[in-house]
Amino acid sequence: MFTRTTCRRPLACGHPCGGVANENSCAPCLVEHCQGHQHYGDGHCPVCAEPWMTKPVIQLVCGHVFHYDCIKQMLTNGWHGSRITFGFMLCPLCKHTISHPDLCEYTTPLFELYKEIQLKAMTRLQHDGLFNSSDVTDPSGKYFRDPAGFAMDKYAYYMCSRCQKSYFGGERRCQDGVEEVDPNDLICPLCSDTSKDKNCPRHGADYLQYKCRYCCSVAMFHCFGTTHFCDPCHSNYTTVHGKPASSLPQCPAGPCGKQLPGSECPLGIQHPPTGEEFVIGCAMCINTNSF
């Protein structure tokens, strides 16, 4: 049973092709026992479990065969949840990267996004001094000699709902267990009100460094899509998060709601009252100037 979008060119065996109409290359014959193709399994698509003949099929570069519409839908739907991940770009059976000439219009922009985020993550890994950390140098580690894989797993990137560009959103571990946020709340530093005048002309907005919302420390975490924390305040966020500004310590403010003596800010900067978000500046420029 072929549809109007099915390729019907005759194959070498004489049977009509069951791939996509006007495809670049035909998939193996769909007729059972004709060519004995090992990836046709029980005669059904592994994704939708419907018989092969109900929809056009496509054979990926890894050799596995699926309904074309199933693979196209996977690529169109993209990642699950807020954080950008790329597991949906892998073959459902062997986890090889999905690739085929007839899928280029879907895979090309995704590959470009992957390379963009990988570059950002690798740059941040070097900036954080973790390029040669034990996670990468330990032979027994998951990411031995794979700093790119480690960086992609360590950091979380999101798609800005306004400019549709990827941006850094903190460490992945900070996002684990947090409920999904409204996609409209995903806003990059460049598009957010707090950093509108803090875009670095050299490095853009991806490396903007924030002050901890609840004390005079540099923030390391970004949680709930709204709040930047230093390490101590993040570990004890229930002691400070959600409290009224009047109950928070004023500058100089120590971590976890402690009031520090004196009047000089530990960061050496002027900033809004404790409890408000504040961008210190570009981390890359600060790091360069420190040398």
Q: Is residue 94 among the annotated active site residues?
A: no
List the chain domain ranges. Answer: 1-77, 83-188, 198-289
pLDDT of residue 100: 92
Catalytic residue among 45, 160, 223, 282: 223
For residues 8 and 17, the answer to whether their CB atoms sit within 8 Å is: yes
Average pLDDT, the chain: 84
Q: Is residue 223 among the annotated active site residues?
A: yes
Share of the chain above pLDDT 90, in %: 40
pLDDT of residue 176: 64
Catalytic residue among 45, 70, 160, 174: 174
Kind of pairing between the strands at 278-282 and 258-259: unpaired
pLDDT tens for 2-51 read: 566 777 777 877 777 877 877 777 877 777 667 655 555 567 889 999 98
pLDDT of residue 118: 96
Query: What is the average per-residue pLDDT within 245-273?
Result: 92
Q: Which of 35-49, 58-72, 202-216 has the lowest mean pLDDT?
A: 35-49
pLDDT of residue 205: 74
Q: Which CATH architecture has domain 1-77?
A: 2-Layer Sandwich (3.30)
User: pTM of the prediction?
Assistant: 0.76
Selected residue with higher pLDDT from 36 and 220? 220
For residues 229 and 215, the answer to whether their CB atoms sit within 8 Å is: no
